[in-house]
Amino acid sequence: MTASDKKPYKILFVCLGNICRSPAAQGVLQSIIDRAGRAGEFLVDSAGTYSGHQGDLPDRRMREAASCRGYALTHRARPVSSLDFLDFDLIIAMDDNNYTDLMHLAPSVESSRKVKRMAGYLTGHSISYIPDPYYMGRDGFELVLDLLENACGNLYRSLLSEEDR
């Protein structure tokens, strides 16, 4: 079997609305993967625990802040489903509420082990969750992007170190 025969490793980011944090995380990690020339080896997606924004583009404020850093966010919001636990290898929650909701949705104990906290990949920050920027100003969106760039860099390195998974 050659490297190109391998199935892509699938990562799903999850937040509440799927219009701010998780599509931004998706864009940041995808950019790291693309710049490394490893697009075929990973599949990155995002979803929300709340379905009210289904079909929407990411929040305009997040799209603008991300665009200034070179990320084009084009994801359309969708709700997370229990089927995602069969499809994805790794499911990453932005905060503790998302984590708890995902634990309840997991169809089995084994699949619940796929769920991790995004803050677990942070280095040099003492914050234990990615804050919801929806009711914050521009600074909130910049803080979220700072945290996501830090965490996604570390997440990507951890994915490479598990390469013979």
Residues assigned a catalytic role: 15, 21, 132
Cβ closest to ligand 4NP, residue 106 vs residue 144: 144
String marking each residue 48-87 x if it binds ligand 4NP according to CB under 6 A: ----x-----------------------------------
By rule CB under 6 A, what count of residues binds ligand 4NP? 10
Calculate helix-pair angle for 60-68, 138-161, nearest 10 degrees. Answer: 60
Identity of the amino acid at 26 = Q
Cβ closest to ligand 4NP, residue 8 vs residue 21: 21
- CA atoms within 13 A of residue 145's CA, in its CB half-sphere: 20
Integer Cα distance of 156 and 42 in angstroms: 10
Measuring CA to CA, which residue among 22, 35, 34 is closest to residue 144?
22
Shortest Å, Cβ 50 to ligand 4NP? 7
Integer Cα distance of 100 and 102 in angstroms: 5
Asked if residue 18 binds ligand 4NP (CB under 6 A), the reply is: yes
Chain residues that interact with ligand 4NP, rule: CB under 6 A:
15-21, 52, 132, 134
